[in-house]
Each structure stands twice: as structure tokens, then as C-alpha cells.
Structure 1
Amino acid sequence: MALTPIQAYSIIFFTGGFLYCGIEILYRGYTHISMFFTAGVCFLLIGAVEALFHARFSLLPQMLLCGLMITTIEYLVGLLVNHQLHLNVWDYTGYPFNIQGQICLLNSTLWFLLSGPAILLFDFLRHILLNVPLPHYHIL
């Protein structure tokens, strides 16, 4: 039985959410439910960036765009969950080059680096779940 696009993209959303939370638990020892939903949305948006710009941009510019997008989403979610709701999920005030303690250069660099494998994983999942052909990648 073939999956509908809603089912496939739901699986992709949950995959992104669970993978990120797993990485965060390994790195920090804990996570927060807001990170699950944020990561799921970011994973879907990474796929959208790749789908929209694959024919025009090689992998590195796509990774840069995804890293900037994730950093922006992290900042906006941080303003909501940390500043407005006072949940104190994270605080980067001790990190160099941070903005309001919600984003920092180190994590933005990590988002850039993680975007490459995330793009590949998104395409693989879409291939498996929706039988979409795998694209040919150009690094530069």
C-alpha cells in the first residue's frame, strides 16, 4: 500500500523531531518537547529548500541557506519559549557572538554542517516513502 503525501511528510516530520531530540539528549543530556516540534518543522523546511533550489544551487549554498533558516527559527522559538513563556529551555549568553542568548555563532555553524546530512536524509526518506527519484548532488 502506497503512502499518501500527508502520511509520508508526517513520518518525515517525526523523524526530524526524534533525531534532533536524540542528538540533543546525547549532547546535553536532556531535551524539551518544544525542540521536537521545532526540529520537525525545520526538517520539513530543509526539504523544501532542497526541492526549491536543488536545480539552481549546489549542496554548499543550500546548506548555508538551511543553516540561516534554522538559526532564524531557533531565534524565533527562543523568543517565544524562553522570553515569553519563561521556560528557559536554552541560554547561550555565555557563548561568544550570541544574540539575546537565543542564538550563537557556534550553533549556527553546527546547523550549517548538519544541514548537509539532513538534506540527504530528507531526499532518501522521500525516495523510500513516495518513490521520488533521488537527485544528483553537486557539492560546489
Structure 2
Amino acid sequence: MGYSYSNLKKNLILIFIMGSIYMVLEGLWRGWTHISMLVVGGIAAFFIGKLNEQPTFYNRKMWQQCIIGTLIILILEFVSGAILNIWLQIEIWDYSNIWGNILGQICIPYAVIWFLLVPFNIYIDDYLRYKFFGEKEPEGLLKNYKDLILGK
């Protein structure tokens, strides 16, 4: 089976909604956000959600899923930061004054935050797929965090 228009439409809807959710969270955290975060946050969340459709991912322990999800976010954050902040000099974020940063684009404290947000990301993606596209009902947000805490 090839890639269809309906798959493209579904994926774009998920990217838009997840990006919008990310913008709200970032706005609450920082007090402001940038429209580019609709795309960057949406794509990061979409990739994690898409990966969660694969048994080799969702059969892993939640902490392993969080590590993989965090790596996805950090790679996208670094690449988009290099383009938007360093090359285009838009100055959307700058972690230069934060411990463990690389070129001011990614840093260890935010990597911990991304790690802790991956179970939320997985749940929201599953919920949106269930509500809008009739896919499997998610087990629950609290279960994701319980699995993370218990090492399941």
C-alpha cells in the first residue's frame, strides 16, 4: 500500500494539533512562544506518536520510550535551533546560560523536561488518533506515568 491523501491529511492534522498544544505549553512556561514552534513542536510530537504505532517501540518499557522520544526532540530542537536561531538569527531561544548546553540550542535541564513530557505526548497522540480517526482507545495518561515511575 502506498501513501494516500487521507494519510497525509491525518498526519498534517496531528502535526497541527500537537504543535498547537506545544505552543500553549510553551506559552504557559515561558510567557510567550513563536509561530515556528507550531511546526517544530508539532513535528517532534508527531514523530514520537508515529513511532508509538510500531510494536518495537510501544512494547518497550516507558523509560526506554522516553529516552528515544527525548532524543527525537533534542535532534529536532538542535537542527531547528541551528537554522532559526544561529543561521537566521531569529533568537527564539538561547540556552547559552544554562548548564550542559550545546551551542545554546539544547541543554541537559530541558532534556529532562522533554523526557518527562514524552508520556504526555504518547497519550495525547493516542487520544487524538482515537477521537478523530477511530483508532484504539488509549490506556490513560496516568498509566503512562505510573509505568514510567515503576519502570514498566
TM-score normalised over the length of structure 1: 0.89
Deviations 1:71-124 (A, max 9, x none): 111001000001110111110010000001000001111111011011011011
Matches within 5 A, 1:42-81: 42-52=44-54, 53-81=56-84
- 1:133 is paired with a residue whose SS is coil
* Cα deviation code 1:59-81 (max 9, x no counterpart): 22111100111011100100000
- Corresponding residue to 1:95 among 93, 98, 102: 98
Aligned mates of 1:128, 1:111 — CA distance in 2: 25
Identity of aligned residues (%): 30
Whether 2:116 is the aligned partner of 1:113: answer yes
Maintained 8 Å contact 1:49/1:62: no
Change (3 A) 1:110 1:41: same
Gap runs ≥5 in structure 2: 1-5
User: Which consecutive residues of structure 1, in runs of 5 or more, have no partner in the other structure?
Assistant: none
By how many angstroms is 1:135 displaced?
A: 5.7
SS of match in other structure, 2:60: coil
Residues in 1 aligned to 2:7 and 2:130: alpha-carbon distance in whole angstroms? 12
TM-score (norm 2): 0.82
8 Å Cα contact 2:123/2:138 also seen in 1: no
| Cα RMSD, aligned residues only | 1.7
Amino acid of the residue matched to residue 84 of structure 1? W
Could you tell me which residue of structure 1 aligns to residue 86 of structure 2? 83
Moved more, 115-124 or 24-33: 24-33
Which of these residues, 84, 100, 104, is aligned with residue 107 of structure 2?
104
Q: Which runs of 4+ in 1 moved over 4 A?
A: 135-138
CA distance in 2, matches of 1:20, 1:54: 22
Cα distance between partner residues in 1 of 2:75 and 2:131: 30
Partner letter of residue 35 of structure 2? Answer: I
